[in-house]
Chains A and B, each alone.
Chain A
Amino acid sequence: MRSTRSFLLAFLEQAWLPVLLVVIWWFASEGNTNPFFPPLSKIWDSFVTEMSSGQMELHLWASTRNILIGLAVGVVVGVVGGTVIGLSRRLRAVLNPYLQFFRTLPQVAIIPIIIGAFGITAVPKIWAIGFACIWPVLLNTVDGIRAIDPGVRDMVDAYRITTWRSIFRVVLPGALPQIMAGIRISLSVAVVLMVVSEIYAATEGVGYFIHITTGLFQTDKTWMGTLLVGLMGYLLSVIFLLIEKRALRWYHESAS
């Protein structure tokens, strides 16, 4: 009973301002004739119309698919590459300038090159997202492995833990908190690249929807698409946070 009440209180403390802002937006924009700021009610209406027509669903699905496949590719390549590099001090030193270059490269710059080369279908977009997602994961994996305590390494040596087993049971779990932080950065990179690649040249996706409705001057739909992309980014990060919390239970609990 008590916990329900404190939960409710915490919820109210966090919810009052967002709710207030939406309400203000709703009433302040009502009856607005400025074409750039359509009433929130109109944006909501267009959302209902588009969703019921089934078109929006397809766009949402295309965007989500590109993000998730691209992210998966980036994570796999990043973790494998990061593990190989992280385990070798020499390799780390030799490759460092190249890794730094790819990390600080403004990743959107590869979009015209990849799309220009391979066309406006989904696959080149996934490639671009995957390529951009590699670097945060890879560099975080390298750092995470490097930060593993020397005492742990002594234990692995003293008890003659085999290399493969130590990679999967010691090195990767030990680096997991940092790998997760890297994936989190990659997720936001993936969302940005999804949007840019779909506005740049596409035939489907939420970014394409925003772009095409701008051209048709359907501002209510443009606003709706934009809000939807924001919501999508938020939901993906919330889902990721839940996964991370589960995977790193030992980390959070041992820290407290």
Chain B
Amino acid sequence: MSSTSTRVAGTAIRTRQSSRVRGRSWLLVQQLAIGLGIVLVWWLVYALGWLSTDILPSPLSVLVQFVLLAGSGTFWVALLQTLATAATGLVIATVVGVALGLVLGLAPPAERATRFLLDLGRSFPVIALLPVMVLILGTRFQMEATVVFLAVFWPVLLQTIYGSRRIDPVVRDTTRAYGIRLRLRFLKVLLPAAAPFIATGVRIGASLAILVAVGIELLVRTPGLGFELGAAQSELRPDIAFAYLIYAGLLGLGVNALLERLESLVLTWNARGDVLEVQP
């Protein structure tokens, strides 16, 4: 029965392919129309003076700043600084998180002993550590990277533990039956099996890393996108602040898309390891 419906559906999809190009450009037109609609509403609110111009800039002035920023050195330096902070924290967190996660995944007693700490860690708003970290390390790059690391570490760790425990019991029995050595089991069985979940953890972590990096720049005024955005706002230049906001969103979108592409290149053999809830 199901074979009937799949076949039928498959045929239907194939027949639709010819009209797909037309459908896709029509979709693009509709998406652009939505974008125009948003700008129009924005412009109306602005033009009717419902909100002060100190609060809501005109769409046009934001567009101008958006273009101007792309040609300004300040912007690119700020972007790179934010990226550097986020990337450093993310890389360290991935290395430490994956290593520790695989160990905890392999050793249930260790996992049970650390369960409360893990629960506490993942629900801890790490950005609250910022003032303490500033006291200890000062407003340096090391401090920023450390705070990002502390925030990103948890999702990577939890996803790794989850992934390494999701290993198929049959695979586990097979490796034991054939007496595969520990080192090989670790590298050739456990790591690939957990890889899709680790990848998801890294993707969650990347978004979080940018968020925390921007947050730090905003709060302790270290250089970066967050600092520029806050500065523009306090200089009553909401047009520049909005332009930075849009760039911040595009940065998140870009990094996410990049990691998804990377993931599909590296993890060709496996589906995405998304989980609804990480429960160690």
Contacts and interface: CB of A to CB of B under 8 A. Distances in A.
Interface of A: 10, 13-18, 21, 36-37, 93-95, 97-98, 100-102, 104-113, 116-118, 177-178, 181, 184, 188, 191-192, 194-196, 199-200, 207, 210-211, 214, 219, 222-223, 225-226, 229-230, 233-234, 236-238
Contact of A106 (B115, B124, B134, B211): B211
Interface residues of B, number: 60
B124 A105 contact: no
Interface in B217-252: 218-219, 225-226, 229-230, 233-234, 238, 241-242, 244-245, 248-252
Given A100-B253, A106-B248, A195-B128, 9 more contacts: A17-B114, A94-B27, A108-B214, A109-B244, A109-B248, A110-B245, A117-B51, A214-B132, A214-B135
B113 A16 contact: yes
A139 B225 CA distance: 26
Contact of B124 (A97, A104, A223, A234): A234
Instruction: Select the residue from B109, B116, B122, B255 with max chain A CB neighbours within 10 A.
Output: B116
B87 interface: no
Contacts, number: 163
A199 B55 contact: no
Contacts of A199: 130-131, 219
A117 B54 contact: yes
Given A117-B54, A118-B55, A223-B132, A233 B245 contact: no
Contact of A229 (B125, B245, B248): B125
27 contacts: A13-B109, A14-B115, A17-B117, A93-B27, A94-B27, A94-B30, A98-B34, A100-B256, A101-B249, A106-B207, A106-B251, A109-B226, A109-B249, A113-B229, A113-B242, A116-B241, A192-B215, A210-B131, A222-B131, A222-B135, A226-B128, A226-B131, A226-B132, A229-B124, A230-B124, A234-B119, A234-B124
A16 B115 CA distance: 11
B129 interface: yes
Contacts of A214: 131-132, 134-135
Contacts of B229: 109, 112-113
B277 interface: yes
B124 A113 contact: no
B22 to A, nearest CB: 14
Instruction: Select the residue from A93, A113, A195, A233 with max chain B CB neighbours within 10 A.
Output: A113
Given A112-B230, A113-B242, A184 B132 contact: no
Contacts of B241: 112-113, 116
A53 B4 CA distance: 73
B127 A195 contact: yes
